[in-house]
């Protein structure tokens, strides 16, 4: 009891230190003063927390009777029924199917398997693992065919890695801000622990011809997704992934095996993998000529531009998650880079006029989600929240204005053809009005 009193006095005599406009606090407020800030929330915002002496605990019905049988496979609580993916093609019409991750309803850095985003041109493909085969051939000494059972006999590796669709965040390319939540704007990215066999291990076994510089990865789904990939990536950190967060890969994410290329755009991480062919040059398939290229204002295109660029976005608060009255809050979000670790994330509460460095949640891993957290004392006035990430290679997330200037006019610009929108990593802005309502804005 005396400890809490001392902490309260310390908080009163030495309140958290403001470091930027509109109430952003030094990250020490999160690293060192968590209990004090929790107390400030309870007393400063007239919050839902109640005094223990005024309202003692009562027994709910769950405390008065036995529970239910434990199921063979655990499912989320029935009270979490709204935490689901949004589907773009639930009736499997003849077009691409997609499912977006609800980042605004999650926390931490690992995406549950059932909420991992999906892009599938032919729908979820059901494959009998006993009949599935992986062929490695082309410019190799000895072509090999591997069964799923055979791959389980090789040494396995695990790594935590994000996967992001090349078209994630494309709504930021619209001329006017699209009013959607984090799921609608940024839901085509997820992060998981992947376990499988290093592709380099298998290539060492088949023997690589010195003339081989690329390889073609092909899936077993109806559209037979295929991509040209530099052989250097295969020998670096590529993986034939068999497990996702400790269990066999989810069917919509490539069961029984997929290619994992940490940091590379999602379409290259070929699902339902069935063939790897070593070649001396890219094949110039539709997925690397017409699609997944970045058109520039000068008429040229960036081709074979693989790593997803440094990026961040705020998940709490965000559209659909209103805040209730002035007081202390935690701003939180996700950051990642296909070029390595996140070195810092800055947060602004005045539309980019001033910035404060957020605390990074450990561990900070290469090519994986890093969650950032920022203490904030909202005074009840209108604000614009932004986050800006920097990776260990020195790449800095650009403003939307700078991004559009480099990539071309936004969609909806009169007399301008629509540009293909890939690799959008522009800063996202959330506007908050005095009622605590959050909306997507451009700043």
Cβ atoms of 347 and 374 closer than 8 Å: yes
- Find residue 241's DSSP bridge partners: 196, 258
Cα gap 190→47, rounded to integer Å: 33
Average pLDDT, the chain: 89
Question: Among 43-52, 185-194, 311-320, whose mean pLDDT is lowest?
Answer: 43-52
% the chain with pLDDT above 70: 87
- Average the pLDDT over 241-263 and give the result: 98
- Please state the rounded mean pLDDT for residues 50-63: 76
List pLDDT tens digits, range 358-384: 999 999 999 999 999 999 999 999 999
d(CA 327, CA 49): 13
Q: What pLDDT sits at residue 49?
A: 53
Cα separation of 170 and 423, whole Å? 8
User: Among 434, 438, 426, which Cα is nearest to 173's?
Assistant: 426
Determine phi and psi for 9, rounding to 5 degrees: -65, -40
> 10 Å Cβ neighbour count for 48?
8
Residue the block writes with tokens 């999602």: 266
C-alpha separations of 255 from 113, 230, 259, 271 in Å: 12, 24, 11, 8
Q: Residue 81 has what pLDDT?
A: 95
pLDDT tens digits, 101-122:
999 999 999 999 999 999 998 8
Q: What is the mean pLDDT of residues 224-244?
A: 96
- Residue 107: what pLDDT? 97
Per-residue pLDDT at 236: 97
- Among 51-55, 191-195, 316-320, which stretch is predicted with the lowest mean pLDDT? 51-55
Least confident of 24-28, 211-215, 347-351, 392-396: 24-28
CATH fold, domain 311-441, is Immunoglobulin-like (2.60.40)
Please report the pLDDT score of residue 34 as a whole number: 54
β-strand partners of 97: 120
- Work out the percent of the chain whose per-residue pLDDT is above 90: 74
- Domain spans, the chain: 133-287, 311-441
Give the model confidence (pLDDT) of 275-324 as tens digits: 999 999 999 888 788 778 777 777 777 788 899 999 999 999 999 999 99
* Per-residue pLDDT at 224: 86
Out of 37-51, 187-201, 389-403, least confident range: 37-51
In a 13 Å sphere around the CA of 95, the CA atoms on its Cβ side amount to 7
Residue 25 has pLDDT above 70, yes or no: yes
Is 419 a residue whose pLDDT tops 90? no
Work out the average pLDDT over 121-134: 95
- What is the model's pTM? 0.91
Contact 297, 410 (CB under 8 A): no
**What is the structure's pLDDT at 44?**
45
Report phi then psi at 119, rounded to 5: -130, 120
Classify strands 189-198 and 239-244 as parallel, antiparallel or unpaired: antiparallel
Tell me: domain 133-287, CATH 3.40.190.170, correct?
no
Peptide bond into 256 cis (omega under 30): yes
Residue 230, strand partner residues:
214
Residue 47 pLDDT class (50, 70, 90 cuts): very low
Let me know: does 230 contact 213? Beta carbons within 8 Å.
yes
The mean per-residue pLDDT over the stretch 11-18 comes to 60
Residue appearing with tokens 């309502």: 437
Q: Quote the distance between the C-alpha of residue 183 and its chain's center.
A: 10
The pLDDT score that the predictor gives to residue 150 is: 98
Question: What would the two tokens of residue 91 be?
Answer: 């009736």
pLDDT at 9 over 50: no
């Amino acid at each position: 009891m005396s400890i809490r009193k001392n902490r309260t006095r310390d908080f009163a005599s030495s309140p958290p230190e403001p470091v930027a406009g509109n109430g952003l606090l030094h990250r020490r407020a999160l690293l060192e003063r968590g209990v004090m800030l929790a107390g400030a929330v309870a007393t400063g915002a007239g919050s839902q927390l109640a005094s223990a002496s005024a309202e003692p605990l009562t027994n709910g019905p769950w405390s008065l009777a036995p529970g239910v049988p434990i199921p063979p496979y655990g499912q989320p609580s029935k009270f979490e029924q709204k935490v689901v993916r949004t589907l773009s093609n639930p009736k499997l019409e003849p077009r691409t199917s997609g499912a977006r991750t609800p980042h605004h309803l999650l926390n931490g850095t690992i995406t549950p398997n059932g909420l991992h985003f999906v892009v599938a041109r032919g729908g979820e493909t059901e494959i009998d693992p006993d009949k599935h085969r992986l062929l490695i051939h082309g410019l190799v000494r000895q072509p090999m065919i591997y069964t799923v059972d055979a791959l389980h006999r090789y040494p396995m590796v695990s790594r935590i890695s994000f996967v992001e669709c090349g078209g994630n965040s494309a709504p930021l390319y619209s001329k006017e801000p699209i009013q959607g939540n984090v799921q609608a704007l940024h839901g085509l990215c997820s992060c998981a622990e992947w376990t499988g066999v290093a592709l380099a291990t298998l290539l060492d076994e088949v023997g690589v011809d010195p003339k081989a510089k690329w390889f073609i990865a092909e899936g077993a789904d109806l559209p037979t997704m295929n991509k040209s990939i530099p052989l250097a990536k295969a020998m670096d950190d590529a993986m034939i992934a068999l497990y996702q967060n400790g269990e066999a890969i989810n069917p919509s994410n490539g069961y029984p095996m997929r290619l994992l290329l940490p940091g590379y755009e999602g379409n290259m991480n070929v699902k339902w993998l069935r063939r790897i062919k070593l070649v001396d040059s890219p094949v110039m398939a539709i997925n690397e000529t017409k699609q997944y290229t970045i058109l520039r204002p000068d008429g040229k295109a960036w081709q074979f531009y693989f790593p997803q660029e440094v990026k961040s976005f705020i998940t709490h608060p965000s559209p659909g998650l209103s805040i209730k009255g002035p007081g202390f809050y935690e701003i939180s979000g996700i950051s990642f880079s296909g070029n390595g670790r996140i070195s810092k994330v800055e947060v602004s509460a005045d539309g980019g006029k001033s910035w404060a460095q957020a605390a990074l949640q450990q561990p900070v891993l290469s090519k994986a989600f890093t969650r950032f957290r920022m203490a904030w004392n909202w005074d009840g006035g209108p604000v614009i929240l932004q986050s800006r990430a920097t990776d260990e290679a020195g790449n800095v997330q650009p403003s939307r204005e700078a991004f559009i200037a480099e990539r071309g006019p936004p969609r909806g610009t009169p007399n301008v053809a629509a540009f293909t929108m890939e690799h959008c990593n522009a800063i996202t802005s959330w506007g908050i009005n005095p009622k605590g309502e959050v909306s997507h804005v451009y700043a």
